[in-house]
Amino acid sequence: MLFHKIIFADSQNMQELEDKSVHLMITSPPYFNAPFDYANYFKSYENFLSMIENTAKETYRVLDEGRICCVNCDDMLVQGEKFPIVADLTKIFMKAGFRYRDRIIWKKPDGYIRISRRSGVIIQNPYPMYFYPDNLVESILIFQKGKFNYQKFKREKNGEFIKSHIDIRCFQEKKWYLTLWEMTNVLPTRRTEKTETLSVAAFPEELPYRLITLFSYVGETILDPFLGSGTTTKVAKVLHRNSVGYEIDKRLFPIISEKVGYNQNRSVTEKFEFLFRN
């Protein structure tokens, strides 16, 4: 039976999970004091990095040997100052013990600028030193815990190996093989991403769909330490994987419940569990 466990608690301490019990981690941490979504959320940049460091250490503990950790993040412009989040998170996860494997660039549709149109500065002042580019991309950092034993897995888990066959036609047509993935982002105006008092900056379902397909096998367990609106759980369910999600904001319970289909008719082959840690 597949299980989906949503834990309302701080992922800096994932005490509900045993060592090496997870097979893939996918997440998008709250962006450091991002305008609209997380303005003044963190007391300082050091506070934000400390939170990431603690979660990275816990992720390393619960992730099985040879498995993958994927972090969607981006440098952040806050009150005119640019913070090197991609570089700092790379250092943090490597310090936690992970091996840096790859970086995929997620490109959003041309013309989508949500926060600011910085390029307008040079239009108003067409001279050197006035250039500031508009940002249409984010990073998907990919880390690995040790090395994966392909032959041992195929020998011991041949059934899961065969069931997890990747559609090569889709792989080629959608250009998954590139380090540039063009995907449409999710706007917080979608009903399933907001309530009257709360909105969520969710990544598109296509993002975890690709990563879960490429880095896990049917029946394995996917972890998202910053679950948000529940996108990772929803996609894991569709792809016949187990899932565990941590979310600190209990107000997201109705949004997550709706997105993952908790109140709908469910198959007898899956189990949902919501935990609220004090």
Interval 200-224: pLDDT, tens: 667 899 999 999 999 999 999 999 9
Q: Please name the amino acid found at residue 98.
A: F
Q: Please name the amino acid found at residue 271.
A: K
Task: Give the per-residue pLDDT at 199.
Answer: 53
- Spans of all domains in the chain: 2-108+142-276
3-state secondary structure the chain: CEEEEEEECCCCCCCCCCCCCEEEEEECCCCCCCCCCCCCCCCCHHHHHHHHHHHHHHHHHHEEEEEEEEEEECCEEECCEEECHHHHHHHHHHHCCCEEEEEEEEECCCCCCCCCCCCHHHHHCCCCCCCCCCCCEEEEEEEECCCCCHHHHHHHCHHHHHHCCCCHHHHHHCCCCCCEEECCCCCCCCHHHECCCCECCCCCCHHHHHHHHHHCCCCCEEEECCCCCCHHHHHHHHCCCEEEEECCCHHHHHHHHHHHCCCCCCCCCEEEEEEECC
Task: Give the per-residue pLDDT at 34.
Answer: 64
57's tokens? 């250490």
**CA-based nearest residue to 52, from 35, 27, 24:** 27
Task: Give the per-residue pLDDT at 206.
Answer: 96
Residue that the structure tokens 């597949």 belong to: 2
Task: Give the per-residue pLDDT at 192.
Answer: 47
Beta pairing class for 221-224 and 242-246 = parallel
φ and ψ at residue 243, rounded to 5 degrees: -150, 150
Q: Using CB atoms within 10 A of its CB, is residue 66 exposed (0-12), middle (13-18) or buried (19+)?
A: middle
Q: In order along the chain (278 residues), what is the average pLDDT of each group of 10 residues?
A: 95 98 96 67 91 97 98 89 94 98 93 65 89 89 96 89 94 96 76 52 90 97 96 96 96 93 74 89
In angstroms, the first-to-last Cα distance of the chain is: 28
Report, at the CATH architecture level, how domain 2-108+142-276 is classified: 3-Layer(aba) Sandwich (3.40)
